[in-house]
Structure 1
Amino acid sequence: MFRQTKSVFQKLRYLSFNGQQHTWRLKSTSARERALQYQPGQKIHGFTVKEVVAVPDLFLTAVKLTHDKTGAQYLHAARDDSNNLFSVQFRTTPMDSTGVPHILEHTVLCGSEKYPCRDPFFKMLNRSLSTFMNAFTASDYTMYPFSTQNGKDFKNLLSVYLDAVFFPCLREQDFWQEGWRLENEDPTDNNSPLMFKGVVFNEMKGAFSDNERLYAQHLQNKLYPDHTYSVVSGGEPLAIPDLTWEQLKQFHATHYHPSNARFFTYGDLPLEPHLKQIQEEALSKFACIDPKTEVPSQPRWTSPKEDHVTCSPDPLAPDPNKQNTVCVSYLLGENGFEERRIEALIHKLEIQIKHQTTNFGLSLASYIASSWNHDGDPVELLQISDSVAKFRQALKENPRFLQEKVRQYFKENTHRLTLSMSPEESYLEKQAKAEEEKLQKKIEVLSDSDRKQIYEKGLELLAAQSRTQDVSCLPALKVSDIEPTIPITPVQISTAGGVPVQYCEQPTNGLVYFRALCNLNTLPEDLKVFVPLFCSVITKMGCGALDYRQQAQQMELRTGGMSVSTQVITDCNELDTYEQGILLSSSCLERNLPHMFQLWSDIFNSPHFDDEERLRVLVMQSAQELANSIAYSGHLYAMTRAGRHLTPAGDLQETFGGMEQVTFMKRTAAMADLSQIIRTLPRLKIHLFNPNNMRCAINSTPEKVSDAAAHLEGFIKDVAKNRKERKPVRPNIIEKPINPLDDNGPRRKLISEPTFHPCPMKTFFQMPFPVNFVSESIRAVPFSHKDYASLCILARMMTAKFLHGEIREKGGAYGGGAKIGGGLFTFYSYRDPNTVQTLSAFGNGIEWAKSGKFTQQDIDEAKLSVFSAVDSPVAPADKGMGQFLSGVTDEMKQSHRQRLFAVDHKNLVDVAERYLSAGQKTCGVAILGPENDVIKKDPSWIIK
């Protein structure tokens, strides 16, 4: 995976917590207290302790160490969190745009000395209970993180990661597969034309089809033109074919060395075993070197510069005539900053510190990575309260502190770039021509023997990709290592002002989380397409006595954010039954409960809709964000479209979040007069903000439940004037209890379509991309069905044992696989150079599953992978949400768990035949991609 370095403001988002281990209840044996026993100068397994610092803000103890022999740096964050994390990062500073660090990141994960099987990294996804496994290439570093809640699993994964990064095989075949290669279009036909292939080559072609990504890359390259930031570390597609296998191996030798490494561990596992394993399996085998990877300071410009670049036109842009992008520095006001704005930002930081998420270790590793990479002090970065205190003191001592910083970094900064970008009609044509010219230059120097060798190497690679791998060398957990039962999350069901409420007491660290689901059953059908727009603007137009600026400031001062989003939830028991609604979400510090609910009251009772200028800005912004999201999330749009006509919920999901919504927002943004929209929004509010259609949920500490309940009661009373009896648009409403075990409790109002008939449909969206996003969807079964567990295991096994090899390794797509959800079994591919070939791979995958040519080991690995997702940590804010939103109780989850354990070979063959093979007759198919003559000539496709 390639990503650019995040800004400091983006990195602040990472500061959040995992409350899984009840961190508010400190014990004498806590991980953070044990870590305080270390002393500077202490020697541990080849490392020397340099610093031990308690960080109470983050409920952790930081231990900084250095490896004596190689100088490798190490930071351990001891915290009472069972989701332990390891990462190792290397400073990688390329001096060209061949993508060497990115291709190396892919290639080191293709086999190592101790684990020589092909792609051990991917195969470990099915042999562990990891909660995260991946790798990242940034502009100047490459990071390899994993996390798991299982101590044995941690040791296994650490062994694989250490061997991968320090002792990789770096086989030439792996370089061809992951980086680039010249190969016949059909590897089995030496008369087929030669073309460029490779996973990273196709990934980066797809990445730069996103104009925002293209602009950001140009901006960085031109702002820092004198060293490594002037090149594309992920790889410029036309430069990637200039990289040789020898250059790749040399880059590894100089950059992937302990002397250039920074290790980070986090969680409640003890430090010493980590150090012992890292020393014995890796660092003891190296001597100290000077890697010479430092990045010198960019020489400052003496005067500002301007530049211009071009991009491809965006056919989904809200206004085709307004596609220019410009980035400049602005002179800010010389009257200073409002004190309330400063307090709002500090309040936001306080919320971020207290908010608990499930991936805190990974967030922490990402937060410190960039600064640490340039020899910044990672411990200092963690001491946030100290930084806030220094900031407050600086403001106290100098009221013009911020103004002077603005003068220093903006007004008087001569190193300033004004970069503009505009679309060029022939951009894609020029790109294709440049690639063809590059290809022809490679081809024209080939001799007959070279061509023969390319053909033979292509066959060798194809044979290697098709060969069954012996993975016995890899460590693995067993299904017996999985906990047989899940912990129960107690919830209490009550009412507030006649509205059903679910309360869940959790260690939320002083925050209260509020949700409300409002169903759409009384909303006329012609208004459905407007619902996502309503959700995106309702908290941003102003309300009550507040204009939109004041509203935004109050939300920052008093809450952790307020949002509204669409919800389409397929019933867990009936495939042709679903719930439609909008979800209100917000959080606040306990002291701000009355302010948060007052803001919601004002939004319900007196939202502002009549500011056409503000509405136009929001509409344009929403339309542009949707258009931009396709290049990155095209597979999700393809999957949504493929399932459109297979379940009653599918059509609404396409309306709310598919290509239909993208085109609707484009049309809306192009409207010269938005008065129709202004008239429509109040009509939506009448139906959506009706307490009769609402149910609520509160997650808070036990001490604050009653307080939250009282304020919620007041909120319901405040919005009572919106409570009006309105008849559902459809007569087919059925009511089901929120808790299926309590038939007398509050009920959910679902839409039932008992006469629904699925129908097949194939849709192709022509897009300005050089790669495709492909999906095929088949109607299956709901969550509580006895066969759902078998389909879960089958999807994971097909992905790992068949589709990954066909779609990624052979096909060159960045990714692909199968998954089940919402009652649909869905195949997909991501940044894929193929279409018809990929659809054939989907079909062949079904035949493979029907044939039963898989082992018990394959099944067990799939179970491990599925359970790693099922048992992933749940943050205190999200406890009980499965029951609240979809009616899935802990008892139902436990039944599903037991069915997962019981899945056997016969079950998998059976569901492949009964659902997937038979279901292909009525499957939905969708492709987003470049012009395709084969599809255009096929009348069975709908072309968009």
Structure 2
Amino acid sequence: MTLEIGKMYNGFKLLEESTIKEINSKALLFQHEETGARLLKLENEDDNKVFSIAFRTPPKNSTGVAHILEHSVLCGSRKFPTKEPFVELIKGSLNTFLNAMTFADKTMYPVASRNKKDFFNLMDVYLDAVFYPNIYNYPQIFMQEGWHYELEDKNSDITYKGVVYNEMKGAYSSPESILMRKISESLFPNTTYGVESGGDPDFIPELSYEEFIDFHKKYYHPSNSYIFLYGDGDVLEELKFIQDNYLKDFHRLNIDSSIKIQPSFPKMREMTVDYPISPNEKEEDKTFLSLNFAVGKSTDKELYLAFDILEHLLLETPAAPLKKALIGANIGKDVFGIFDSSILQPSFSVVVKNSNEDKKDEFKQVVFNTLKDLVENGIDKKLIESSINIKEFALREADFGGYPTGLIYGIKCMDSWLYDGNPFMHLNYEPQLEKVKEALRSNYFERLIKEYILNNNHSSLLIVKPKKGLGEEKEEQLKKNLKSYKEKLSEKEINNLIEETTKLKERQTTSDSPESLKKIPLLSIDDIERNTEELPLELGEESGIKILKHNIFTNKIAYINLYFNTTVVPQELIPYVGLLSSVLGKVSTKKYSYEELSNEVNIHTGGIYYTATAYSDSKELDGFVPMLKIKAKALTEKLPDMFKLLGEEIESSKFEDYSRIKEIISELKSRMEMTIFDRGHMVTAGRVASYFSSVGSYLESVTGLTFYHFIVELEKNFQSEKENIVNKLKEVSMLIFNKENLTVSVAMQEEEYKYFRDNFSILYNRLGSRKLQCYEYNFNLKPENEGLMTSGKVQYNAKGYNYRKLGYEYTGAMQVLKTIISYDYLWNNVRVQGGAYGCFGGFNRNGNMYFVSYRDPNLRGTLQVYDGAVKYLKSFNTDEREMTKYIIGTISDIDSPLTPSMKAEKAAANYFSRITTEDLQREREEILDTNINSIRSLANVVDSCMKEQYICVLGGEDRIKENKDIFNKVINVFE
């Protein structure tokens, strides 16, 4: 049906229609006549439909009101009065995405599903949540999700508790998080960007319930909303649903949610911020130096794209001139850039990590002198071409790492729409890309550097430096403040606090009524496809090499993954496999300097990436296949160039450039430190698996904390060990890159396979061919049970074991158990009652199982909750409707949409793990047939694993020392 501009459709007037050829979509821009609600539909053939409603929510302080509200509106509403409809949907819908997001100036509520009925169910729950939340009826929601005084009896100490409070305590434990937050404050001190929308733990307890409610009343109205729809759904049906069920009940309001512009500074501002480190950590080489610049407006579509590319070419590749200059001047050990374009006034930052405060002047000098030199003498055109190409490749590929395409497009639309610009200006990127390409023939980027960096007073120098004992000081001050607060309370006020705590716990521990639960819309088992999707995989051979062929539409992009079996590496050299994967592509080769190599790769390919990994053998207990995986992608006609570059990196890398190897090791150490703070739950889950699992122990040695400590030692002793390090890298490289241990995965359409077949010899001829010895690895598996101490103020608690070693076998019902444990038992006990930000369980086919928590204020209590799962499972009981919900939620997780490259990778992983389509079909049927007895029968699996007492905790030094009796070892993560 053709819609007409200016006509009304179900309460919405069509304002504009446009074809966006870049994303193969038709854009329809509407406005709701009665309320002024804005609505954008991107119409296309994608069956992974996306809906989002967003509100402009500029906070005025750092109490985290926008963030707490984002959590809280999803805790029950008018039509769906259960305590957490959000969790019920995770457990029981076929969603492909379900979450909410707080940005600096907006709050978004996106959902996605491939099932039409499910999609409308999700829209219904989310629209009811944002417009009619239960926060007005239950102050306990604010207490649980935001913050509250916890007092169980008169003799106890008062403490702060709350999910967002603990989440942000975790965020403020990471120096990188503090840096990111303070950059905005340094540049925009007088606007909403000068405060912390997520909430600063020091200020969150200043937020009152009344202010929280007022924020919702002011901003969560259709007149302040931005509704986004994407996919193959019927737009008129979607508009009718939104109008008839929600918007018809509202009238237009004049809501001032405008975002003020920060006037430019007369001169650069300087700001210094401390971050906490443990008393036994050294302060040297732990300062962050950051130069930051306000860059126009995000509604300047050409500047928006151009600066993204400029940041890449200046700071993100081995050839990046600003990065090279800073590393070469020994300002710090890691350099990276940030271009934040999701705010009204985008910011560009140059960051040096592992530096010292006394280098700030030299830092400024090197940055400005380097940029002046680039302006005067010009930027290397090959570098410009390479950065434009890699960004253009990413734009056209539209592979967002598993996130629904529509979700990312929706977020990108908000980068202009929120500021009254055209919502699809950044999707329609071809015109501005052509203008940026003028840089290949002119001084385009040089002009940008001059105008927006060198001659820009709207800038800041930010110093984020370590301070020993700062965390302890803050905790001590907090205890004093709370003690003083309690002492000033009357007996009646103390009793009121105890009563409020009791009421909250009662609400948290009281189950939703069956009537309330039935109001959450639910699909039936009949809505689920009973047959597993067969991933494309056909075995072939080229020159004696096994080829995994994936015949799939890839839009003329060839995805080539090379899998080298690394059992040819002796056990004592295993960590060097991880190091090799970090070095290749970043050092010079016989033909190219590392700068030239980086440019060539970015000009001719979509990227070449090296990863040390391993695949568990599903048939053999504790068996696994270690691999060095190379992921490479290019347009099919560029395959000859890609194979030449791969061969060059594999065969001709020069490891003897000691200074370059040292730089790579230092950067690797820095990046791993960021990961440890940001993904502590994965650190502990991997660490605990290394105590009882060979594949876990291997992965620890090439990617985990063991590998991090290996890198720390290499950096510390580099001068004395450099020759040894280089010799071992050479040895490992020679062993791995051999025809004897290679399998290749090729994802492209059958008719394009000839491009691969005709050019594969370019790479094949550069591989070694001598017979190699394969090694059997024997790891010293035992319960290390470590307490891993950091300066953080939250914990990441992991406990697990391998159930197959105890005689149990894998069954698909374990995936339903994972859903039940993660979103029912652990959610209620660790997150809702315990105040942790996250928690979940895992049951892997190889037998490894674990429970883990994320940004958790507790330690011993959470481990006790894990042990209590057995009792919960033995008496597990639910009705048929709830069991259906658990099954649907499990299938939703298993059926996550995959991009062509992801399908190929998953098919290859199944091949190496010896998981057949029959295995996957059996698993699916076991999931669909799961019942109460299936879950109860798994109680013994959990019981047996918990009794093995394998634990690992990453967390605050004080908390770990308080509980040192439960650990066999207590160690400092950082020096």
TM-score scaled by length of structure 1: 0.90
1:321 aligns with 2:310: no
Q: 1:599 Cα deviation (Å)? A: 0.6
Out of 124, 138, 143, the residue aligned to residue 103 of structure 2 is: 138
Matches of 1:39 and 1:908, distance apart in 2: 55
Q: Partner of 1:431: helix, strand, or coil?
A: helix
Matches of 1:434 and 1:99, distance apart in 2: 21
Q: 1:337 Cα deviation (Å)? A: 2.8
- Which residue is equivalent to 1:687? 735
Q: Deviations over 1:235-256 (max 9, x none)?
A: 1101111101110110001111
The worse-fitting range, judged by mean Cα deviation, of 523-532 and 442-451 is 442-451
Q: Partner of 2:690: helix, strand, or coil?
A: coil
Q: 1:549 Cα deviation (Å)? A: 0.5
CA contact (8 A) 1:759 1:923 kept: no
- Which residue is equivalent to 2:803? 780
- Which residue is equivalent to 1:620? 666
Q: Partner of 1:387: helix, strand, or coil?
A: helix
Out of 942, 947, 951, the residue aligned to residue 916 of structure 1 is: 942
- Which residue is equivalent to 2:41? 76
Q: Deviations over 1:489-540 (max 9, x none)?
A: 3422111221111111111011000001111112111101222111011111
Gaps of 5+ in 1: 1-33, 731-750
Q: Partner of 1:729: helix, strand, or coil?
A: coil
CA contact (8 A) 1:573 1:785 kept: no
CA contact (8 A) 1:759 1:922 kept: no
CA contact (8 A) 2:40 2:229 kept: yes
Equivalent residues, number: 876
- Which residue is equivalent to 2:954? 928
- Which residue is equivalent to 2:900? 876
CA contact (8 A) 1:760 1:921 kept: no
Q: Partner of 2:271: helix, strand, or coil?
A: strand
1:666 aligns with 2:723: no
1:862 aligns with 2:886: yes
Q: 1:935 Cα deviation (Å)? A: 5.5
CA contact (8 A) 1:86 1:146 kept: yes
- Which residue is equivalent to 1:262? 226
Q: 1:717 Cα deviation (Å)? A: 2.2
* Residues 880/892 of structure 1: CA separation in 2 closer, same or farther (3 Å cut): farther
- Which residue is equivalent to 2:552? 506
Out of 891, 894, 903, the residue aligned to residue 921 of structure 2 is: 894
Q: Give the aligned residue type for 1:389.
A: E
TM-score scaled by length of structure 2: 0.87
Q: 1:434 Cα deviation (Å)? A: 3.6
Matches of 1:628 and 1:393, distance apart in 2: 37
CA contact (8 A) 1:84 1:267 kept: yes
CA contact (8 A) 1:575 1:647 kept: no
Q: Deviations over 1:719-767 (max 9, x none)?
A: 2xx111111123xxxxxxxxxxxxxxxxxxxx7x8xx997544221111
Q: 1:837 Cα deviation (Å)? A: 0.5
**Correspondences of 1:654-733 after superposition (within 5 Å):** 654-673=700-719, 674-719=722-767, 722-730=768-776
Q: 1:64 Cα deviation (Å)? A: 0.9
Out of 211, 223, 228, the residue aligned to residue 192 of structure 2 is: 228
1:115 aligns with 2:83: no
CA contact (8 A) 1:354 1:510 kept: no
**Correspondences of 1:276-287 after superposition (within 5 Å):** 276-287=240-251
- Which residue is equivalent to 1:20? none
Q: Deviations over 1:390-448 (max 9, x none)?
A: 3346876xx33332222211121111111112111132123223423442454343211
Matches of 2:580 and 2:438, distance apart in 1: 43
CA contact (8 A) 1:499 1:696 kept: yes
Matches of 1:916 and 1:760, distance apart in 2: 17
CA contact (8 A) 1:493 1:502 kept: yes
Matches of 2:631 and 2:648, distance apart in 1: 15
- Which residue is equivalent to 2:382? 340
Q: 1:651 Cα deviation (Å)? A: 1.3
Matches of 1:314 and 1:549, distance apart in 2: 38
Q: Give the aligned residue type for 1:293.
A: S
1:763 aligns with 2:753: no
Q: Partner of 1:587: helix, strand, or coil?
A: strand
Q: Deviations over 1:237-284 (max 9, x none)?
A: 011111011101100011111111111111111111111111122211
CA contact (8 A) 1:882 1:889 kept: no
The worse-fitting range, judged by mean Cα deviation, of 225-234 and 427-436 is 427-436
1:349 aligns with 2:391: yes
Quote the RMSD (CA, aligned, Å).
2.1
Q: Partner of 2:425: helix, strand, or coil?
A: helix
CA contact (8 A) 1:815 1:829 kept: yes
Matches of 2:642 and 2:864, distance apart in 1: 53
Out of 432, 448, 454, the residue aligned to residue 405 of structure 1 is: 448
Q: Give the aligned residue type for 1:174.
A: I
- Which residue is equivalent to 1:151? 116
Matches of 2:176 and 2:907, distance apart in 1: 38
Matches of 2:960 and 2:459, distance apart in 1: 46
Q: Partner of 1:660: helix, strand, or coil?
A: helix
**Correspondences of 1:25-64 after superposition (within 5 Å):** 37-64=2-29
Q: 1:563 Cα deviation (Å)? A: 0.8
- Which residue is equivalent to 1:238? 202
Gaps of 5+ in 2: 293-366
Matches of 1:335 and 1:42, distance apart in 2: 56
Q: Give the aligned residue type for 1:813.
A: A
Q: 1:936 Cα deviation (Å)? A: 4.7
Q: 1:368 Cα deviation (Å)? A: 2.1
Matches of 1:686 and 1:891, distance apart in 2: 38
- Which residue is equivalent to 2:687? 641
CA contact (8 A) 1:91 1:141 kept: yes
**Correspondences of 1:176-191 after superposition (within 5 Å):** 176-184=143-151, 187=152, 189-191=153-155
Q: Partner of 2:765: helix, strand, or coil?
A: helix
Matches of 2:434 and 2:205, distance apart in 1: 51
- Which residue is equivalent to 1:583? 629
Q: Give the aligned residue type for 1:654.
A: E
Matches of 1:547 and 1:794, distance apart in 2: 53
Q: Give the aligned residue type for 1:379.
A: F
Matches of 2:817 and 2:755, distance apart in 1: 47
Out of 480, 492, 498, the residue aligned to residue 449 of structure 1 is: 492
Q: Deviations over 1:604-662 (max 9, x none)?
A: 21111111111111111110111121121101111111111322212112222222112
Q: Give the aligned residue type for 1:881.
A: E
**Correspondences of 1:432-447 after superposition (within 5 Å):** 432-447=475-490
Matches of 1:715 and 1:394, distance apart in 2: 33
Percent sequence identity over matched residues? 27
CA contact (8 A) 2:537 2:907 kept: no
- Which residue is equivalent to 2:863? 839
CA contact (8 A) 1:781 1:788 kept: no
1:370 aligns with 2:415: yes
Matches of 1:644 and 1:316, distance apart in 2: 27
Q: 1:718 Cα deviation (Å)? A: 2.9
Q: 1:769 Cα deviation (Å)? A: 0.7
Q: Give the aligned residue type for 1:130.
A: N
1:391 aligns with 2:356: no
Out of 53, 61, 67, the residue aligned to residue 96 of structure 1 is: 61
Q: Give the aligned residue type for 1:790.
A: A
Q: 1:921 Cα deviation (Å)? A: 2.8
**Correspondences of 1:587-598 after superposition (within 5 Å):** 587-598=633-644
Q: 1:158 Cα deviation (Å)? A: 0.3
Q: Deviations over 1:758-807 (max 9, x none)?
A: 7544221111110000011121249x996421211112112222110100
Out of 232, 238, 261, the residue aligned to residue 274 of structure 1 is: 238
